[in-house]
Amino acid sequence: MLPIVLLSVFGIGLLFLGFMKSRAILLPATLLFLVVALAVNFIDWNKSYLYFNDMLRTNNLAMVFTAIILLSAFMVVALSSNFLNDESAQPAEYYAIILFSLVGAIMMVGFENLIMLFVGVEILSISMYVLTGSDKRNLRSNEAAMKYFLMGSFATGIMLFGMALLYGATGSFTIAGIGSYAAHPQVGLSLLLYVGLLMLLIGLLFKVSAAPFHFWTPDVYDGAPTIFTAFMSTVVKTAGFAALFRLLSVSFGGVYTFWWTILAIITALTLVAGNITAVYQNSFKRMMAYSSISHAGYLLIGLASLGTNTKQAIVFYSLAYSIATIAAFGVLLLVAQQRSSQTITSEGVITENFDSFNGLARQNPLLGVAMTVSMLSLAGIPLTAGFWGKFYMFSTAVERGQIWLLVVAVLMSAVGIYYYFRVIIAMYFRDGGNDPIQVAPFYRYVLVAATILTLGLGIAPGLLEGLF
């Protein structure tokens, strides 16, 4: 559990670094902190310990999820260099909040006690509310933060209510305790357990933006500064699914028959709502918001058909999804900043439409390739990591015999190809843009690394095998 301690200390340290005149040190310092946290994360490898009076547990799975979260955060932070040039930005605070939010995410990954889950969710969420509204003078950013905060706190409230009911039913806050109570459904379980489980699920499904709890997502993702959208759509999602998996597999495996239909319906709804709505978007950023909803749907397949392969499927999928999403947002950041003549409308609002990508691949082949690979991966085309992610997910569904869910998912991935390819078409086959975009070194490293990782995992998906 060293990462939690270290990240908290580092976060406070960063706040003090903010007093220094030079902002240039903040970015490398944050990256260094993340690397240290990632390294110490693996100290407990192959061991399983309980920490803080049985509140948290480390095991290989939790460490792998933590690693994915820290890796995503590292890549996002590396893309954030333009804060340093922005007069109105407060990078020290941003980076500190990012580190604090990671503490919450890691708690969600390794909780042993529902209280810890709640604390983790709250730390992560509140950090996100702040970061969403961090563009203080931008109306859309303010609106997004307000919406996110109101709806998010409502969802957390429901979640807390659910935990209370679970305690009422089982007399325990630990997931193992609840699990041993729920393991024998034939003796007749308290109704409170079912109600409590549902409310807890609603709270968590809200956080991962599953339909019908997804209505906040497009506005929040669209309004938040792009860099934080990238952070939200990867770290929060990974942590949320790690928490859901832990909860459902440890505590509620016994009452699978009760919740799987509900979850399967939510999965189908999420897939349909996310994919179909994404088709109608003109803004790339909004499309990515709906795409993140649809990917929540694919990840939910694994939970709705919980089985021996679910663990691997969720780990692989969230890794593939996170890398591809960060690369896509990285390219979007560059395009939105530097193609200002195309991206600013007459009212002075920056649009992130598909049109602003026109002709990009000809002027910046690197950006073109990075974006194409990430879109192919998100669309689940073979030879990319995303394909194997989908493959593992589909396998879990077949293993449980949920063919109809699979058919919905397959049809929706065909729909997905439509909107992901709009970017590729704009970049390669349409004309536009005059000057090549300047790509700062950090951006280049992140994009190249993301592309290599996506293709590498696509060609040799076995690399991750046997890790957990």
Partner 1 sequence: MLTLFLIFYPVVAATLILLIRGERIKQAALVAALVELAIAGAALVSFKPDASSQFGFDYAWIGSLGIRFSAGIDGISILLVLLTGLLVPFIILSTFNRSYKQPATFYALMLYMQAALMGVFTARDGFLFYLFFEAALIPIYFLAAMWGGENRIPVTFKFFVYTIFGSLFMLVALVYLYYQTPATLTAPHSAAIADFYKLKLTPEAQNWLFWAFFIAFAIKMPVFPFHTWQPDTYVESPTPATMLLAGIMLKMGVYGLIRFILPIVPLGVEAWGKTAIILSVIGIVYGSIIAIRQRDMKRLIAYSSFSHVGLMAAGVFSQTETGMQGALVQMLAHGINVVGMFFVADVIFSRTNTRQLDQLGGITQSTPKLTVFFMIMLLGSVALPLTNGFVGEFLLLHGVFTSNHYLGLAAGFTIIFGAVYMLRLFQKSMFGSTTSRTETFADLTSSESWVFIPLVVMVFWIGVYPNTFLELTQPAVVNLMKYIGTTAVSMK
Between CA 297 and CA 4, with CA 116 as vertex, the angle to 5 degrees is: 95
- Please state the closest distance from residue 394 (CB atom) to partner 1, in A: 5
- Please state the closest distance from residue 284 (CB atom) to partner 1, in A: 17
> Could you give phi then psi for residue 56, rounded to 5 degrees?
-130, 150
Taking CB under 8 A as the binding criterion, the range among 1-9, 203-211, 237-245, 379-387 that sits at the site for partner 1 is 379-387
DSSP state of 466: T
* Comparison of 4 and 393: residue with beta carbon closer to partner 1: 393
Amino acid at 468: F
Query: Quick check: helix, strand or coil at residue 86?
Result: coil
* Comparison of 113 and 413: residue with beta carbon closer to partner 1: 413
**Mask for 34-63, x = binds partner 1 (CB under 8 A):** ------------------------------
11 belongs to the binding site for partner 1 (CB under 8 A): no
Taking CB under 8 A as the binding criterion, the range among 20-28, 55-63, 320-328, 426-434 that sits at the site for partner 1 is 426-434
**Mask for 80-119, x = binds partner 1 (CB under 8 A):** ----------------------------------------
425 belongs to the binding site for partner 1 (CB under 8 A): yes
Amino acid at 334: L
Over its C-alpha atoms, the chain yields an Rg (Å, rounded) of 21
Taking CB under 8 A as the binding criterion, the range among 127-135, 217-225, 242-250, 459-467 that sits at the site for partner 1 is 459-467
- How far does CA 13 lie from the centroid of its chain? 26
Hey, what are 429's tokens?
């086959």
398 belongs to the binding site for partner 1 (CB under 8 A): yes
Out of 394, 402, 446, 449, point to the residue binding partner 1 (CB under 8 A): 394
Q: Give the 3-state secondary structure percentages of the chain, helix then strand then coil, rounded to 5.
A: 75, 5, 20
* Comparison of 209 and 309: residue with beta carbon closer to partner 1: 309
For residue 441, say if its preceding peptide bond is cis, omega within 30 degrees of 0: no
DSSP state of 57: E
CA–CA separation, 319 and 313 (whole Å):
10
Q: Which of 71, 89, 82 has its CA nearest to residue 326?
A: 71
2 belongs to the binding site for partner 1 (CB under 8 A): no
Taking CB under 8 A as the binding criterion, the range among 158-166, 210-218, 279-287, 458-466 that sits at the site for partner 1 is 458-466
Amino acid at 454: T
- Please state the closest distance from residue 425 (CB atom) to partner 1, in A: 6
466 belongs to the binding site for partner 1 (CB under 8 A): yes
* Comparison of 152 and 380: residue with beta carbon closer to partner 1: 380
Q: Which of 55, 207, 45, 220 has its CA nearest to residue 144?
A: 220
Query: Quick check: helix, strand or coil at residue 7?
Result: helix
Out of 54, 86, 399, 435, point to the residue binding partner 1 (CB under 8 A): 399
- Please state the closest distance from residue 407 (CB atom) to partner 1, in A: 7
H, E, C per residue of 117-170 = HHHHHHHHHHHHHHHHCCCCCCHHHHHHHHHHHHHHHHHHHHHHHHHHHHHHHH
Amino acid at 29: A
413 belongs to the binding site for partner 1 (CB under 8 A): yes
421 belongs to the binding site for partner 1 (CB under 8 A): yes
- Please state the closest distance from residue 306 (CB atom) to partner 1, in A: 16
- For residues 382 and 311, the answer to whether their CB atoms sit within 8 Å is no
* Comparison of 243 and 381: residue with beta carbon closer to partner 1: 381
* Comparison of 16 and 280: residue with beta carbon closer to partner 1: 280
452 belongs to the binding site for partner 1 (CB under 8 A): no
403 belongs to the binding site for partner 1 (CB under 8 A): yes
In the numeric block, the tokens 């941003």 are attached to 94
Out of 128, 248, 406, 450, point to the residue binding partner 1 (CB under 8 A): 406
CA–CA separation, 322 and 88 (whole Å):
29
- Please state the closest distance from residue 292 (CB atom) to partner 1, in A: 21
CA–CA separation, 227 and 333 (whole Å):
7
- Which of positions 338-377 make contact with partner 1 (CB under 8 A)? 376
Binding site for partner 1 (CB under 8 A): 376, 381-383, 387, 391, 394-395, 398-399, 403, 406-407, 410-411, 413-414, 417-418, 421, 425, 428-430, 460-462, 465-466
